[in-house]
Structure 1
Amino acid sequence: MAERLNGKASYARRTHGSERRGVFATPSYGYIQNLEQSRRDRAQNLASLREKYNSTTFIPELMSPEEMAVSPPQSVEQDEQEIIGLGNRELPAINHKNEIIDAVENNKVVISTGATGSGKSTQIPQYLYEAGYDVFVVPPRRIIVDGLHERIQEELNGQLGEHEARNLVGKRHGGDVSIHDKNKISIMTPNVLNLMFADGHIDREYKDKKVAFLIDEIHERNLYSELALGHAAMWVRENPNARLIAASATLDAKTLQYSLGRVTDAEYPEKAEVPVVNIEGRPFNVEIHEMPDMTPVQAFVENGRGDESSLIFTSGMKEIKSVITETIRALEAREKGSSAGYEFRMLHGELTKFQMKQVARPAERGKKLVTIATPAGMSGITLPKVTAVYTDGTINREILDVDGHPGLVREYLSQSEVIQEIGRAGRDVAGGVGYICAPMIIGRTERSIEQNRKLYPFKSLDERDPYAVPEIYNTDLSSNILDNAKTSYDFEELGLFTGHEVQPATIQNTKTRLRAIGALDRVNELTDIGQEMTRFPVAVELSRGLVESLRRERVSRQLAFMALTASAVDTGGLQEFRKGSGTEWKRLLTSSADDDFSAQLDLMLALREADQENVTPREQYLYAKAYDLNPRRVERARDVAGKILHRLGINISDINLDSPSYEEVGLLRDDFTAGMFMMTYREAGVHNKEHVYRDIRDANAVRFRTINDRSVAEPEPRQLIAGFPRYYTRDRQGEQQVKNVLDLVLRVRPEVVGRFALQTNLVDYVPIKGSARMDGGMVVEREQAMFGDIKVGSPEVVKSHDDIPETSQAELVRYSLQNPGDAQLALRSVAEELAEYRRIHTAEDLEQYRQLQAPADLTKHDIESILKNYAARTRNAQELDALLDRHMLEKGITIARYYDTAARVEMTRRSPEILTIGGVETKIFYDRGRPYVTRITAEQQAQATSPVYLDDGREVLHQIKKSGRGTRRVSFGSEGEVAD
């Protein structure tokens, strides 16, 4: 790590630009002279290398004197081992050549570190080729691939000849393919290598070969680089002739050693030895100064006005424009007219290839160059003659929220990132200086600037985290997990080798989403739909829509509309959306463009009309700017659309692509709904003067979203839309506010959303209240399939669901009570007999006859409770009665359980139903064991002048009317009214 606080940093520049990351690669004049050889010398060198390459092992120390004689002149220290063969002798890496080759030959995994400019990226591939390996060089971005391809090929031109060098070195990325069957050094982006592993290409072509994978710039913690590292590590583990080299300028070697240790020791990776080769050296040092009280603008005006080329880093595009404005204002305040002596350029991740070439060109004669960049410019391109770098130490980084939705958040750069930015200085000239400054603050007024400054105080290098949070933790992994499903191993296993493991819950949640859109089956294997989706280089939601069009056999014109739309939406939308951007793009829209998908299609069709055969990149750029389109996103959309159309087998020039009809737009929306239906939202009212939307599956939503300001979709009450959920932050009055939005809105139809939810069993079946009824001895009800608050199809009669609604259970109990089966009748018989005994005898009497361990009396209420309990298990009345029968058997419910036969006979004898009173047989009633009669004649009453008793001594009372209302019971022979 570089020293700081106004000291010297151990940065060494390369004099020839061999590791330039840009379009241009310009070696020094002295280096060109050293590479000049005769045709005979080159032929001898080439013949020597071929002979060595065909041998099983290449050992530089065993080269013959003749072979050594054809090597370019060497200049090394006296105690250094003599260096031979390929390689640039002006770079520090040459001093470690034999160490590198030896480490790779004797270890399956090697870590290489070295300062920017040490030559690790350009030289190690040549060393490994010389040692007999097929070499895959994998930097993180296309522009680096282009630069390395040009640089390595140029160096080999002088040593092997142009024809042989061109055959040996190839490159491949999404924007360019330049490969040859004889390629021995293949330079590619990480995702290309990942797909080659997923498709089995590496296994088929290189399984038995001596092959090395150089995964470069690992310090950036780029998602695809880490996945490429994981794929390569797993493959190297299984193939004895394969080697893996992880290279980086700044590196968390301990973490990486642990992950890569699994290649040789899966059980105890922490004990595995993973050698680290540190390439020291950078010819020119860089001073680092910390300026806590100055912004980059202030520091530049104070210290850098004399530099021919300066580089200022800030967090984002909005800040870039502010830096330019503030710098011009500050220069003019110091000396009127002085800003005319500077040429200001912007460098960020949204530049087109045409713009990148303009960034690298020299400044106008007599002007000093000031380039203002986002951290995307910290690697990938080298600007010549930069002597001063100013950074505000911040970045707008994409961070996933707790729900996994992305958003841009301004954060502090890590130590390694700041060092990378400052390392842009002094790469090809002496005298590099780096300034770490206070963050740039934007505000409408001085007061708001001061308030927001509290959010971002100055942070010294020591106060920063050593490394940035790995990108893999803040990226939607859907596409990666889908592609990985084509391999023989699971993504969880891959994660063990990436350097940064992903939480299993995150992976499982992503697989759940992929199952929901039909890409994976229940055991997370790739489905036919998922297999087709992997053909298209867009987000899974969009590739699912493309597959739906194919499966529905849409005509070529419709498929072309889908391809153009998907490519534009995948870029995030073609128009400029930054505050203050114009809206000329709206003139390109048709009247039917009432959502963002149809609007993007209109823009793509308008661009196609403007793309004539002889249109230059500059003209394409100017056309995009004239209509307030983002040139870089337009460029990407064109590239992606071309790939999709090619994979669909469609030649767009053969199709009439005028504006789509209303019906064609409807089909497009329906097909894209296949991948978007899980992100369906409904308008839920107005809050703070904005229409808000809630997820249809969250009836009690606490988080609402608004349609993004850049959308063409107009809010409507109860409107149903699908869109990509995002959030963004904004600084207001010293606070960071978060706004949740829906981006790239698609109008959807509820019946189509429901159809796709039904296909993957995502609907819930909700009973319709009051619909339960009996049908042939079965209880049935009508249910409504629901996806969130959307009704799916018509209500259906349901007989087979395991979960029986309570209303249906109640209906089955009601029916069974009205239509009792044999078991229920038997239970009722026991309950009724027990009730009769309680009626004709007192509780004291019953205790005399009751069995010693008899349970509590069974009642009709108990029977109903038992029915309710078993009604949750069956819909069939006959089965319900069978369950009662088994219940009686298991519980032993019979009348004998309560009273034996002798007791029952005795209790019945003691409580006669008829008794002779006054010479007339009279019916006897009982009330909890107390006998009474209700109607007797006057003659009976006249004869019964004394109390009447049963045989067991209980008195029989006479129930008579009270004077007024009610009744009372009296003894015979007592005074009272005669009962009617």
Structure 2
Amino acid sequence: MGRYYRVDNFRGFPHTETGERSGGSRQGVIPRPETPSEKIRRLSDSGYVAPPLESTKAQESEYAGYNLGNKELPAYSHKQEIIEAVNANRITLLTGPTGSGKTTQFAQFALEAGYERIVYLQPRRNNVDNISERLHEELTSQLGEEGAKGLVGMAHSERVTIDKNTPIQVMTSGTFTKKVPELAEEWADMRVVVVADEIHENNLETEFAAAFAARQVERNANWRLVFASATPDQNVLGGSYKAINGGDVPVVTIEGRPHHLEMIEEPDIDIIAAYHAHSAGIAKSMIFVEGKRTINETIDQLRRSMDRDEVARTKFYKLHAKISERAKQEIFSMELAPGEKAIIVSTSAGQSGITVPGLGLVITSGLTKSPELDGENAPGLPTRHCTQAEIVQQGGRAGRDIEGGKCVLARPTGFGRAKNSDNDLYDFIPLQRRYPDMPPEIYSSNISRNVLAASAMGEDFLEFNNYLKNSVKPSSIHEAYDVLHKLGAVDDGNKVTDTGRLMDVYPLRPELSRAVAEVSLGRSLNIQVYTLIIAAAVEAKY
């Protein structure tokens, strides 16, 4: 029999990644930057106070009388508190559990309050698509089809619906990073709020994009930055963010979700058996596994565990970061006939920013994959146990719009893979024994590419490091600069070269983008094609 309990308010373990500048070549090139604590003291001594939004005194939004927002969601009761905090502070932390409305409602509150550009930073394409569609649907229900037309747009590597007049823009964090210089100039006189969403995931690209946003917020009195998180994050509350605010970063906490979610532990059965044990009377279910290969294995096992009639009445869907737009739309627009069921088998790509209408059951294997560097500093995606925060995020997909949502943590299924005696990967780990928060990707990533991107935008990464939520050791930054210098991407003063700018165009590790940049200048088309294929294959491997 499973263990039943309520899950609430998980908190992360303290930030421990510290380090002083260590040995290595070219350390004398750049002087030590001002630390966050030194910056706070300097600004405090000078009487620094973040300037208020200049336009709040005179400008009134054309949506001021519409009372926008979903009154049934918990976020709505905090509407005035949220806008007052954002107006009065350059940086604000907004926290609330999944389903509380912190993401979909804030854009509507900000639009009504007169913000001319509202930008959402999302870690994945799936999030961008789903959130932009939900925002459009909610605004259409309040303003009508014509009134909501053109209010919401989205942008990622495969699709762009934004134009220069779109007020609400949802985009991947990487897209925002590339557009920052252009947007900073174009929106210099506008009221802008950037929302770094899902920051509890500690996604590298979102952290990097949020740091660029923080730099712009520091420079422009009309810009604001909001961190949105399912759990409180102490790293947001101090350092340079506190200095930019000229005081403490305010926290607005949204309590609860509209429908109760029941958490269940099943240590003795796997995800297949858990589905059969808990899916009675539930039409739509979602099963989380660690990778694309396991998605196929899970669907095969589910089919084998059902009789012919049950298979005929069950629709199976796959959800991962690389699915097509058509496949994605089939999931979110599925319609079931009486007696039919649907099972979505997903990787972690579906654990946040996703709402499947009518989803009543989530089952998780408690496993996921995340970036990690091996002994040779090469990136990989090994399987690991999910943290508490990840499982709570996965469970939060159930019962978002219906009563009776359930999340089941089951024993992982190895599908015949060998178990070493010293490998506990497929052992059941109770929720309370897991790490609270997701490990910051930045500590298990090769940051050379990010250092190059910052250099291409004229930023010194040693100083830029102060604006990261999870700052890295200076020695790691020096190592990255050394690699880039050897590749010809930066000069002796760590300024980007023409070669570095060309390398930055390609979404590859610098070692690979250097090769592509080399053959792109004067080599035959065949050599260019072969080099691109090899570079893409090596990058995809990791």
Q: Report if aligned partners of 1:472, 1:502 keep a CA contact under 8 Å in 2.
A: yes
Structure 2: distance between partners of 1:380 and 1:568 = 33
In structure 1, the residue matched to 2:43 is none
In structure 1, the residue matched to 2:188 is 207
Q: Structure 2 vs 1, CA of residues 167 and 318 (structure 1 numbering), >3 Å: closer, same or farther?
A: closer
In structure 1, the residue matched to 2:124 is 141
Residue from 143, 150, 175 that aligns with 2:158: 175
In structure 2, the residue matched to 1:56 is 57
Residue 401 of structure 1 pairs with residue 374 of structure 2: yes
Structure 1: distance between partners of 2:423 and 2:274 = 17
Residue 247 of structure 1 pairs with residue 228 of structure 2: yes
In structure 2, the residue matched to 1:914 is none
Matches within 5 A, 1:16-415: 56-57=57-58, 71=66, 85-133=67-115, 134-160=117-143, 162-163=145-146, 165-197=148-180, 200-251=181-232, 253-259=233-239, 261-264=241-244, 272-332=247-307, 338-360=310-332, 361-363=334-336, 366-415=339-388
Instruction: Give deviations 1:396-436, integer Å, cap 9, x for gaps.
Output: 22311233112232211000000011111111221111111
Q: Which amino acid aligns with 1:254?
A: Q
In structure 1, the residue matched to 2:35 is none
Structure 2: distance between partners of 1:141 and 1:455 = 26
| Identity %, equivalent residues | 34
SS of 1:551 mapped into structure 2: coil
1:470, distance to aligned residue in structure 2 (A): 1.0
Structure 2: distance between partners of 1:369 and 1:491 = 48
In structure 2, the residue matched to 1:516 is 486
Q: Report if aligned partners of 1:57, 1:131 keep a CA contact under 8 Å in 2.
A: no
Instruction: Give deviations 1:871-915, integer Å, cap 9, x for gaps.
Output: xxxxxxxxxxxxxxxxxxxxxxxxxxxxxxxxxxxxxxxxxxxxx
Q: Structure 2 vs 1, CA of residues 549 and 517 (structure 1 numbering), >3 Å: closer, same or farther?
A: same
1:568, distance to aligned residue in structure 2 (A): 4.6
Structure 2: distance between partners of 1:570 and 1:257 = 40
In structure 1, the residue matched to 2:16 is none
Q: Report if aligned partners of 1:348, 1:374 keep a CA contact under 8 Å in 2.
A: yes
In structure 1, the residue matched to 2:27 is none
Q: TM-score, normalised by structure 2?
A: 0.82
Q: Which amino acid aligns with 2:352?
A: S
Q: Report if aligned partners of 2:362, 2:407 keep a CA contact under 8 Å in 1.
A: yes
SS of 1:437 mapped into structure 2: strand
- The structure with the largest alpha-carbon Rg is 1
Residue from 439, 463, 466 that aligns with 1:496: 466
Structure 1: distance between partners of 2:208 and 2:293 = 32
Segments of structure 2 that go 5 or more residues without pairing to the other structure are 10-53
In structure 2, the residue matched to 1:485 is 455
1:515, distance to aligned residue in structure 2 (A): 1.6
In structure 2, the residue matched to 1:432 is 405
Q: Structure 2 vs 1, CA of residues 277 and 297 (structure 1 numbering), >3 Å: closer, same or farther?
A: same
SS of 2:286 mapped into structure 1: strand
Structure 2: distance between partners of 1:453 and 1:292 = 17
In structure 2, the residue matched to 1:6 is 4
Q: Report if aligned partners of 1:10, 1:281 keep a CA contact under 8 Å in 2.
A: no
Structure 2: distance between partners of 1:341 and 1:185 = 40
1:196, distance to aligned residue in structure 2 (A): 2.2
Q: Structure 2 vs 1, CA of residues 520 and 55 (structure 1 numbering), >3 Å: closer, same or farther?
A: closer
SS of 1:293 mapped into structure 2: strand
Higher relative contact order (CA 8 A, sep 6+): 2
Structure 2: distance between partners of 1:273 and 1:484 = 27
Q: Report if aligned partners of 2:198, 2:352 keep a CA contact under 8 Å in 1.
A: no
Structure 2: distance between partners of 1:159 and 1:320 = 38
1:339, distance to aligned residue in structure 2 (A): 4.2
Q: Structure 2 vs 1, CA of residues 454 and 172 (structure 1 numbering), >3 Å: closer, same or farther?
A: closer
Segments of structure 1 that go 5 or more residues without pairing to the other structure are 12-52, 72-84, 267-271, 573-722, 727-742, 745-980
Q: Structure 2 vs 1, CA of residues 386 and 571 (structure 1 numbering), >3 Å: closer, same or farther?
A: farther
Q: Which amino acid aligns with 2:244?
A: T
Residue from 443, 459, 465 that aligns with 1:473: 443
1:571, distance to aligned residue in structure 2 (A): 4.7
Structure 2: distance between partners of 1:523 and 1:450 = 50
Instruction: Give deviations 1:592-622, integer Å, cap 9, x for gaps.
Output: xxxxxxxxxxxxxxxxxxxxxxxxxxxxxxx
1:159, distance to aligned residue in structure 2 (A): 4.6
Q: Which amino acid aligns with 1:390?
A: I
Q: Report if aligned partners of 2:519, 2:531 keep a CA contact under 8 Å in 1.
A: no
Structure 2: distance between partners of 1:483 and 1:195 = 9
Instruction: Give deviations 1:134-157, integer Å, cap 9, x for gaps.
Output: 322222222322233333334334
Q: Structure 2 vs 1, CA of residues 481 and 109 (structure 1 numbering), >3 Å: closer, same or farther?
A: same
Q: TM-score, normalised by structure 1?
A: 0.47
Q: Structure 2 vs 1, CA of residues 171 and 548 (structure 1 numbering), >3 Å: closer, same or farther?
A: same
Q: Which amino acid aligns with 2:76?
A: I
Cα RMSD for the two superposed structures: 3.1
Q: Which amino acid aligns with 2:295?
A: I
Instruction: Give deviations 1:709-736, integer Å, cap 9, x for gaps.
Output: xxxxxxxxxxxxxx77x9xxxxxxxxxx
Q: Which amino acid aligns with 2:468?
A: T
SS of 1:530 mapped into structure 2: helix
Q: Structure 2 vs 1, CA of residues 473 and 57 (structure 1 numbering), >3 Å: closer, same or farther?
A: farther
Structure 2: distance between partners of 1:170 and 1:455 = 41
Q: Which amino acid aligns with 2:237?
A: Q
Q: Which amino acid aligns with 2:265?
A: E
Counting matched residue pairs gives 495
Q: Report if aligned partners of 2:453, 2:504 keep a CA contact under 8 Å in 1.
A: yes
Instruction: Give deviations 1:900-932, integer Å, cap 9, x for gaps.
Output: xxxxxxxxxxxxxxxxxxxxxxxxxxxxxxxxx
Q: Report if aligned partners of 1:398, 1:408 keep a CA contact under 8 Å in 2.
A: yes
Q: Structure 2 vs 1, CA of residues 57 and 189 (structure 1 numbering), >3 Å: closer, same or farther?
A: farther
Structure 1: distance between partners of 2:474 and 2:403 = 49
SS of 1:379 mapped into structure 2: coil
Structure 2: distance between partners of 1:358 and 1:203 = 37
Structure 1: distance between partners of 2:314 and 2:143 = 43
In structure 2, the residue matched to 1:461 is 431
1:293, distance to aligned residue in structure 2 (A): 1.2
Structure 1: distance between partners of 2:94 and 2:479 = 36
Matches within 5 A, 1:616-765: none
Structure 2: distance between partners of 1:160 and 1:327 = 44
Q: Structure 2 vs 1, CA of residues 275 and 116 (structure 1 numbering), >3 Å: closer, same or farther?
A: same
SS of 2:432 mapped into structure 1: coil
Structure 2: distance between partners of 1:513 and 1:180 = 38
Q: Structure 2 vs 1, CA of residues 303 and 217 (structure 1 numbering), >3 Å: closer, same or farther?
A: same
Structure 2: distance between partners of 1:449 and 1:526 = 48
In structure 2, the residue matched to 1:589 is none
Q: Which amino acid aligns with 1:358?
A: E
Structure 2: distance between partners of 1:450 and 1:529 = 47
SS of 1:389 mapped into structure 2: strand
1:451, distance to aligned residue in structure 2 (A): 5.7
Q: Report if aligned partners of 2:354, 2:397 keep a CA contact under 8 Å in 1.
A: no
Q: Report if aligned partners of 2:3, 2:266 keep a CA contact under 8 Å in 1.
A: no
Q: Which amino acid aligns with 2:445?
A: T
Q: Report if aligned partners of 2:360, 2:402 keep a CA contact under 8 Å in 1.
A: yes
Q: Structure 2 vs 1, CA of residues 242 and 408 (structure 1 numbering), >3 Å: closer, same or farther?
A: closer
Q: Which amino acid aligns with 1:524?
A: N
Structure 1: distance between partners of 2:425 and 2:509 = 34
Matches within 5 A, 1:928-967: none
SS of 2:452 mapped into structure 1: helix
SS of 2:269 mapped into structure 1: coil
